Structure formats: C-alpha cells, structure tokens
Chain A
Amino acid sequence: MVEGGSLFRWFLRILGWTVAAAIAVSAGLSITSDYLYRYHSDDIQGPARNFHNLDNFFSAVADGHGIFLHLTGFQNHKILAMMTYMRAVYRLYPLPVLTAEPGVRIITLDELLDNNPDRDGTWMIDHGVQREISLEFNESGEFSFRVIPAHPGG
C-alpha cells in the first residue's frame, strides 16, 4: 500500500532503476561490439598474422644489414606500400631502412612512391646500406622479392 508522500519515493526508485538499466544496456552493447570485433572479425588476428610474417621476413632478409627498400607494383595499393615501409623501419631499427635520398620528406603515400627509384650498389654503399630488397606486389595480389647485395658499381 502506497502511503501519502511515498509516491515520490517510488518515482525516485524508478529513476534509479532507469539509470541502472541504461548503464547495463550500454555495457552490454559495448561488450557485444567488442566481442564481435575481436572474435568474429579478422580485424585483429588478420593484421597480427600479417605483421608476424612481415617481421620475420624483414629480419631474415636483412640479416643484420641496413637495407634499401625498392617498392614496385604498389601504385594501386599505396597504403600497403607505406605500411610495409614503416614496418620495416620499426622492425629493423637501429639498422637503416632507406627508400629515398636524404632530405626527401616522406609522410604521404605519394611522397614514398614518387621518390623510390631503383638504386645501384655505389649509391647504397655511399648511404650506408648493404643490400637492396626489391619488393613487388603483382596483379594477383602476391608479393615477390629479390635480395640484391650492394657491390660498388653494381
């Protein structure tokens, strides 16, 4: 039986329950969203696999040497090129990973690909790297690579 004046208290309790329900629904939606993102999409596992492979690849082909990275076939996949370059720089640091002449700013995708011509052995030795990794992304979406040691005049 609701006594006089206690209707207001009922009202307050309903407000409290409303807030609690809203918090619970929000947290439920949040966890659902995170769970789907984490365990029902490839948004984390996919990149994790790819970077694991890429890291091992760079460590193996650089083999303790600074590298000149020559990227070809990435004109339609510029983000992939940038990601690959940045990952190589991160993975191999403190070994140098070069794609361009000193003084060339690289922050946009075009700045990376427009300043990345093939270099000869003399250039590489002059710039303190010992091998070229020529990375090609072909039409069928596959990587191929060549490792070219730097020889003077080569």
Chain B
Amino acid sequence: MLVVGYSTAKLLLGSRSILEKLSWGSVLGPGVCGLCMIGCSLAGKSPTRGEIGWITAIFAAIMMYAKPKNRGQTSAAAPPAQTAPIWWIVLCIAIIGYGIYVTAVDALVTPLIEWDAYSDWQLKAKVLALHALVPRPEFFSDVRLSFSHLRYPLLVPMIGAGLHAMTGKLDDGLEKVPYLMVYMGLGACVFFALRKWRGVGLALGATALLMSCPTMLEYAASGLADMALTAFYGCAIISILRWQESGDWRELALASLLGGCMCWTKNEGVAMALVNAIVILLFTPRPLKPRNLLAAAMSALVVFLIYLPFLLWARGLPYTDENYAQRLTLSGIIQNLPRFGHIVTAIASSQADWWLWGLLWFLPLLTAVLGWKRLFTRPVATLWALLLLQLLAYIPPYLVTDWGDLNLLLSVSMSRLLMHATPAVVMLVAMQSPDLNLHGIKLRAPGSRHPQSAYDPP
C-alpha cells in the first residue's frame, strides 16, 4: 500500500521531500490500492497475492521511472521563518507520540470491538476476500444480513479484503493496521502543509491537537471507515488550499482522486465531495475565468467518474436501511424542520463536550478573535466555508431520518460525523492564529520582521 501511495504521491506532488511524499503515500496508499482492487473485483477477480503483487509492481515501476516536473516555489513569498522553542517541540511530539502509541495498541493488540466494525465493514472485507464484486455475491442480496447495510460503499471492506488475501487468512486480525498508517499519514500531511504556511510551532501545535483528539483516538484504529474518510477529506482540503495558492492542476487532480476515495468510503463522503466542489468553484482566485471554471468542472467530473462504478454496481440492491437518498426531498425536509433546533443543539453540545474533543471546537472561535486580521485571507475563508458547509450538510439526514428515537441516533453518530471535520478545524486554528512567538517576551530589533508568507494578511 505504501509503495502504491508513494508512487501516486510522487506523480502528483513532484519535488517534495521523501518524508512528505511518504506521508501522502500513507493516506493515498490504502485508497488507491483499494480502488485498484475494486477495479479488478468488478472485472471478476477477487483479490489475490498475485494480483496485489502486480498492482504494486506497476506502481513501483511508475515510482522508478516517472520523473514529474519539478515545480518551482509555489508561493510568491518565502515560507515563514518562525521557529519554535525546544520545550514546545518536545511537548507537541510527546502529545503526538501518545496518540501514535495508543492507536498502535488498538490496531495491533485490541480485537475488533466496535459494533459497526464487525457487523458491517470488516464482515464485508471477508466477503470481498472470497468473492469478486461481479457476479454480485449473494451476500449483498440477502436481506437477513441487512444489519450490515448492504448498499454502503466498499473501499474500506476492499482494503481489508486485500489484507486477508495477502495473509491468506480471514481471521488474521490485521484489518485495523492500515488505519494506523492512515492516522499517522494524516497527521504528517497536516504538519507539512501547515509548516510551510505558518511555521513549525503552529504546525506542531495543530498536529498535536488533531492527533490527540479523544474521538479520533477512539475511532482511528477501530476498524470503522471514519478514519479513512477523515484522512481523505483532510488531505483533499490541503490539496484545494494548495491549488488556490499555486494554480497547479496536479493539486486539483489529487483533490479529485481523494474526493473519489471519499465517495467510495462512506455515503457522507459524497456530501463532503460536493462541499469541496462548491468551495473549489466559489473560492478559486478569479472564479469566473474560463480556465478556473473548467478546472472546477473537470475536478467534479473526475470524482463522479471514480464513483460511477459503485452507482452502477449498487443498482438493484435491496433498500433495507435508512435510505437517506430517497428521503432527502424538499417536502421531507420542510415537514421535519421543527427538528432543526434540536439537531443544532445536539451538534453544539457534542462540540462543547471536553471528554470527546478537549477544547478543539472552541479554538477556532478563540483564534478567530485573536487573529482576526487573517479572517479575510482566502485560505481562512475557504476553511470556514468548508467547515460550515460540511456541518450544514450533515443536518438534512437527521431531519428526514426514520429512526424512531432521534436522540439515540444523534448520540451514536454525532461524534463520528464531527470527527470528519477535525482536519479542517485544526488547519483553521493554525491558519488564523496569531504567530506563537514563544521565545520569551523579548523585543525584536526595530525594523526587523519575519519574511511574509503568502498567507500572511496584507
């Protein structure tokens, strides 16, 4: 997976450092490898060692022979020279280290204990390890197995199926390992992106916030699809911000690829990909310029083309669960509008729960006040738009749900939905925050100042 991910990163990221490409490879690897296996499975071949070997070999060849053009400095200005004192670096690394340690224990030692993990995602991983998607396995038509949500997207099960194929055992207990890699990869991608934009101090602080978030730690290596979705989404956001900065089509290609992975990961991924498309369109520099309009349209088209095989494959599958797609009608939403206040209250009270989030959801507000000048920069506005649109997109399904007990649904699902937004939250914290300036209260020589980043306010 790492080879596949690294090769993809090398193709699309050009001349970045090996460490940065490895970080992106950790997130892209499971996604791209999973999509390739899905392609083979749709062609009638369930995953085998040989097939995965071929996929790896092809990507390894790409890695060795592809020589993507080096991009020049994407930012007009030099990266910020802000450094951080050693105690801050040690503190943040210790926090990140705790996160990695407990996630590694979950991935390698703790058995599968999450309800949805064994009843849905990893059960289907076993199915896909034994059966190709075409002809469609009987499993997906057996309504007695409706508890496993027969119409849910299949990227996470296919990643698990690939692992089972490699070990040759269905009960190898390794199905959570890729998400340890994805968790660390997401943290590193966020760090590298923020280090360039805001310097090492804020980048480390934001990464520590992300990787120590209790909800993230609970679900990162639980065998659910939420870690993968969070990572794909977080990296897509970074790509969108970089595309805004550089105009490089490869960044948009990366965002589109990740958008496709999001759609194949969870139904919520489709909503998030839609939010990304809206933001790409509205927040691009000079949105009415034909080139930018075309770029946004192409990006949406690529996401749709990646997702299309799932839509075709899932046609005719029984609707046995929530079926939000059919319920999300204007009349259904208007009819249930009285629930709106209750849902917003539930979202806010979950965000205020320090047991689930620390102060994570409070920090964007704090930094918006303290660093108010940055509020009017494009990346900060983009991140606020992404965050608010995503939160807004999650409300309609709660409005139209047929769950008898709305409170129960909110309590079992809210924290995982909010987790998807955590990369946007920590990036927002770092991007709009004032400089940390932790080297003591010492005055600078008159006239000296840090070189400006492209994202510094004017």
- Chain A contacts to B: CB under 8 angstroms: 2-3, 6, 9-10, 12-13, 15-20, 22-31, 33-34, 37-38, 44, 47-48, 51-52, 55, 82-83, 86-87, 89-91, 93-94, 98-100, 102-107
Contacts and interface: CB of A to CB of B under 8 A. Distances in A.
A19 B434 contact: yes
Given A31-B98, A33-B355, A93-B127, A20 B147 contact: no
B434 A31 contact: no
Contacts of B119: 86-87, 89-90
7 contacts: A10-B443, A30-B209, A30-B360, A48-B110, A52-B111, A87-B118, A90-B126
B115 A16 contact: no
B366 A22 contact: yes
A23 B434 contact: no
Interface in B211-225: 212-214, 217-218
A17 B87 CA distance: 13
Interface string B100-119: 00100000001111010011
A52 B123 CA distance: 17
Interface string B418-440: 00000000000100011111100
Nearest to B208: A27
B166 interface: no
Given A26-B360, A94-B170, 6 more contacts: A9-B443, A23-B205, A34-B218, A44-B110, A86-B118, A103-B144
A136 B119 CA distance: 22
Given A16-B435, A23-B209, A93 B441 contact: no
A30 B159 CA distance: 30
B357 interface: yes
B393 interface: no
Nearest to A23: B205
Contacts of B147: 82, 86, 106-107
Given A15-B370, A16-B438, A34-B218, A51 B320 contact: no
A19 B359 contact: no
Interface of B: 88, 91, 95, 98, 102, 110-113, 115, 118-119, 122-123, 126-127, 130, 142-148, 170-171, 201-202, 205-206, 208-209, 212-214, 217-218, 320-321, 354-360, 362-363, 366-367, 370-371, 429, 433-438, 441, 443-444, 446
A29 B130 contact: no
A51 B132 CA distance: 29
B88 A20 contact: yes
A107 B357 CA distance: 31
Contacts of A83: 115
A103 B144 CA distance: 7
B257 to A, nearest CB: 31
Contact of B441 (A10, A33, A94, A105): A10
Contact of A102 (B88, B144, B358, B434): B144
B370 A18 contact: yes
B350 to A, nearest CB: 14
A44 B145 CA distance: 26
B367 A29 contact: no
Given A105-B143, A105-B144, A106-B144, A20 B358 contact: no
Given A9-B444, A31-B212, A34-B212, A24 B126 contact: no
Nearest to A19: B433
A16 B437 contact: yes
B415 to A, nearest CB: 12
Contacts of A30: 209, 212-214, 217, 357-358, 360
Contacts of B217: 30, 34
Of the listed residues B201, B358, B367, the one surrounded by the most CB atoms of chain A closer than 10 A to its CB is B358
A51 B438 contact: no
A47 B214 contact: no
Nearest to B426: A23
Contacts of B209: 23, 26-27, 30
A103 B434 CA distance: 61
A108 to B, nearest CB: 9
Contacts of A9: 443-444
Nearest to A14: B441
Nearest to B403: A108
A107 B321 contact: yes
